[in-house]
Structures are given as C-alpha cells and as structure tokens.
C-alpha cells in the first residue's frame, strides 16, 4: 500500500505546539502507520486474520531494511521508514501464503520497484500494489490475497470506514475514495444487468473489510497519483471502469490489476504533459 501521510499538502503543526499536541496532530507522519497497525492488531486480536505474527514481522523487517539500504545507496541518506513500514504491514495483511518467502520477496520487490521503475525522478507504481500484483501473477500456486477476513461483519468495516474517512478527509484525498466507491457501486449494478447475477453479489466485494484497505491506502497514495484534483477523479473512475471490465472477465484480483495498469499510465501521461509544458515554457522564455 502507500504512504498517504508522507507527502500531504497540509500545514505542519506550529513549532510552539506541545510535544503531545504534535504527536496527536493529524499531520503527524506517524498517524498512517498507527492507523494501519491498529487495523492489523484489531483484526488479528478479534478475528485472527494472520496465521502468524512472524510472517507479518518478516514483511515489515524486509521492507524497512530494503528501504534503508537502497535509500542510503541512491539518496545518500537514511530514508524515513514510515512509508516502508506501511508497505511491509500491507504486504503482511494482504498476502496470504503458507510459506515465509513470499512475504519477504513481496516486500523486497515492492520497495525495489520505487527505485528501479522511475520516470523523471518519480516512481510510478504504488509499491505494495506492484509487489502484490506481481506475486499474484507470478506465483499463484503459493500466494493468494484473501479478502474474507474479519468475519464478513458490519462492525469492523464501519470502524475502518470512520477512521479512514477522517484521516483521508484531513489529507484532502477523500474525493478519491468517495468517487471510487460511487463508481464501483454504479459499475456493480451495470455488471449485474449485463451478467444477470444478483446485484448483491456484485456489491459484495466492497462490503468486505479488507477491500477498505485498497480504497483508503492504495488508490490514495500521493506519490503515485496525479496532482490535479480533477484528474485524480477521472483516473479513479477509469480504475473502477477497468476493474469492471476485468470483473466481467472473471479476474479475481481485478482491483489490484486495474490500479496496476491505470495508475502508472496516468502518471506517465502527467509526466509527459509536465515535460511538454516545461518545454513550451522554456521556448516562450527564450
């Protein structure tokens, strides 16, 4: 998943604010990791969503270690581990495998993708989306991404929705989540009309708590979403549209793959347009 809190366009708390106030400030970069840690612990302690702490711990450790090493090599500094922690914990939640190595491998390639797959200094794939999609595609006999945890009950979803919405709202990215959900529901009814399946079955995926991680963390990643609010809305509708097409073709991990395809494509278009604008501006200046 992402680091929606690491590059928010928000004001930092004033330097004069007390340490406690700073700590609890929503602008604090630790809030995202704390939020996702709460989801993990709450899910595991109440429903046992993890088969073992060890696998999740492995994903986190590998993710942070890879980030630190690569950051040191390429940026000559110790990169803050918050983003890598979120990636690691996301891998720990979303990857389901009886083996240990997929957790390590998924974390490693997720972080490495940020350093390898770059265009004009920007990485274009959401790290965990890249890692999880790659694992699901390359080693399906060992890895699955289950979305049936948390008991299919309403309460966990409401808790995640409320907390997630508050945080995403403060980060001014709720429109992305909101429009995705609205698009998903509209396309669900369209799919139901096309396939003849009960509409409830088409709505079902988004009512599962684990799906909420996708809509709060993955698609809102500031580093791998376009900058303009209008284009963010358009891109997220396109993601839902591509997901619908994939779902019509019975692709189980349609949301991951849709984001995998549409997200970087939108980023590349934006980078290309930025560079065209820069060239035009340069020409005009001269």
Quick check: 149 binds other proteins (CB under 8 A)? yes
Least Cβ distance, residue 188 to other proteins (angstroms): 10
Q: Which of 20, 141, 230, 282 binds other proteins (CB under 8 A)?
A: 141
The residue range among 17-25, 108-116, 267-275, 277-285 that interacts with other proteins, by the rule CB under 8 A, is: 108-116
Total site size for other proteins, rule CB under 8 A:
54
Residue of 113, 249, 211 lying closest to 203 (CA atoms): 211
Least Cβ distance, residue 156 to other proteins (angstroms): 10
Quick check: 205 binds other proteins (CB under 8 A)? yes
Residue of 165, 266, 254, 260 lying closest to 217 (CA atoms): 165
Q: Which of 12, 17, 41, 98 binds other proteins (CB under 8 A)?
A: 98
Least Cβ distance, residue 37 to other proteins (angstroms): 20
The residue range among 8-16, 85-93, 208-216, 219-227 that interacts with other proteins, by the rule CB under 8 A, is: 208-216
Q: Which of 202, 221, 243, 270 binds other proteins (CB under 8 A)?
A: 202
Residue of 2, 96, 106 lying closest to 61 (CA atoms): 106
Least Cβ distance, residue 184 to other proteins (angstroms): 13
Q: How far is CA 86 from CA 18, 133, 140, 181, in A?
A: 26, 17, 23, 23
* Residue-by-residue DSSP string for 135-190: HHHH-TTT-B-----GGG-HHHHHHHHHHHHHHHHHTT-HHHHHHHHHHHHHHHHH
Residue of 29, 10, 43, 26 lying closest to 212 (CA atoms): 43
The residue range among 5-13, 54-62, 93-101, 163-171 that interacts with other proteins, by the rule CB under 8 A, is: 93-101
Q: Judge whether 201 and 146 are in contact, CB under 8 Å.
A: no
Q: How far is CA 103 from CA 134, 184, 197, 224, 271, in A?
A: 12, 29, 35, 23, 32
Quick check: 201 binds other proteins (CB under 8 A)? yes
The residue ranges that bind other proteins (CB under 8 A) are 47-48, 51, 70, 73-74, 96-99, 105, 108-109, 112-113, 115-116, 134, 136, 138-144, 146-149, 151-154, 157, 195-198, 200-205, 207-208, 210-211, 247, 250-253
């Amino acid at each position: 998943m992402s680091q929606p809190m690491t590059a928010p366009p928000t004001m930092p708390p004033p330097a004069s604010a007390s340490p406690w106030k700073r700590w609890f400030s929503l602008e604090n970069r630790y809030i995202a990791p704390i939020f996702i840690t709460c989801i993990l612990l709450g899910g595991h302690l109440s429903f046992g969503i993890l088969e073992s702490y060890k696998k999740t711990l492995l994903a986190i450790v590998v993710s942070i270690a890879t980030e630190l090493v690569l950051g040191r090599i390429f940026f000559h500094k110790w990169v803050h581990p918050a983003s890598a922690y979120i990636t690691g914990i996301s891998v720990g939640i979303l990857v389901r495998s009886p083996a240990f190595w997929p957790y390590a491998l998924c974390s490693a390639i997720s972080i490495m993708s940020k350093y390898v797959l770059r265009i004009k200094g920007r990485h274009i794939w959401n790290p965990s989306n890249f890692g999880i999609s790659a694992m699901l595609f390359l080693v399906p006999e060992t890895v699955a991404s289950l979305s049936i945890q948390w008991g299919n009950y309403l309460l966990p979803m409401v808790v995640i929705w409320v907390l997630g919405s508050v945080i995403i709202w403060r980060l001014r990215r709720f429109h992305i989540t909101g429009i995705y959900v609205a698009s998903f529901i509209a396309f669900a009814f369209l799919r139901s009309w096309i396939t003849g399946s009960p509409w409830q079955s088409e709505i079902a995926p988004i009512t599962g708590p684990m799906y909420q991680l996708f809509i709060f963390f993955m698609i809102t990643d500031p580093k791998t979403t376009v900058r303009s609010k209008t284009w963010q809305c358009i891109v997220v509708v396109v993601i839902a549209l591509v997901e619908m097409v994939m779902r019509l073709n019975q692709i189980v991990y349609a949301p991951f793959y849709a984001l995998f395809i549409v997200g970087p494509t939108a980023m590349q278009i934006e980078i290309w347009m930025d560079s065209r604008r820069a060239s035009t501006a340069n020409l005009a200046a001269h």
